[in-house]
Amino acid sequence: MAPRLPLIFLLMIHMTGYLIVKVFWTKNTVINNVEPPDLSEDPEYSQRLQYLGDKQQNCTIRLSHVTQKDEDMCYFRFITDKPGEKWTGTPGVTLTVTDLQVESPERVTEGDSVRLTCKSSCTPR
Ligand SMILES: *[C@@H]1O[C@H](CO)[C@@H](O)[C@H](O)[C@H]1NC(C)=O
């Protein structure tokens, strides 16, 4: 069964003299001057992705119901009020999804009650 953990990407930016007009996370970098799509407008993510920060300095997102299909690169992009002043965070963040590990007791006999523990390499929130 696929783990259903929410995942938090935390990112802070700090700039002076600029007004940040748009901040978003995306799966693509800018190719041939084409603005990459905001992940939260992608139907595959829109129901599961939530911006938690203020979108000025704190650009934290939460992705819920993460499955293996979410394995991908993720880039952060922001656009300011100054013409041409927009940036993408490269090399980006790699999301790797691994299975939960189930821990069980070594010896179990019929009739025993068993406690199974799911372990994950990241802390679910
Ligand atoms: C950024 O926002 C997230 C979500 O609201 C919060 O958990 C985190 O503490 C904030 N980080 C800072 C440095 O304010």
**What pLDDT score was predicted for residue 121?**
72
* Total number of domains constituting the chain: 1
Give the number of the atom of ligand 1 that is nearest the alpha carbon of residue 53. Answer: 2
Give the number of the atom of ligand 1 that is nearest the alpha carbon of residue 62. Answer: 4
**What pLDDT score was predicted for residue 13?**
77
Is 124 domain-assigned? no
| Closest to 22 (Cα-Cα) out of 4, 40, 42, 6 | 40
Is 39 domain-assigned? yes
Is 90 domain-assigned? yes
Intervals of the chain under pLDDT 70? 1-5, 122-125
DSSP line for 76-104: EEEEESSTT-EEE-SS-EEE---PPEEE-
Return the CATH number at 71: 2.60.40.10
Ligand 1 centroid to Cα of residue 90, in Å, is 22
Is 81 domain-assigned? yes
| Tokens found for residue 109 | 């006999």
60 lines ligand 1 (CB under 6 A): yes
pLDDT in tens, 11-35: 777 778 888 889 999 998 998 889 9
Q: How many CB atoms lie within 10 A of CB 77?
A: 22
Is 23 domain-assigned? yes
Is 117 domain-assigned? no
**What pLDDT score was predicted for residue 47?**
94
- CB-based burial, 22-60: b 16+ in 10 Å, e otherwise: ebbbbbbeeeeeeebebbbeeeebeebbebeeeeeeebb
Residue 62 domain boundaries:
7-98
Is 111 domain-assigned? no
Is 104 domain-assigned? no
Residue closest via CA to ligand 1's atom 12 equals 58
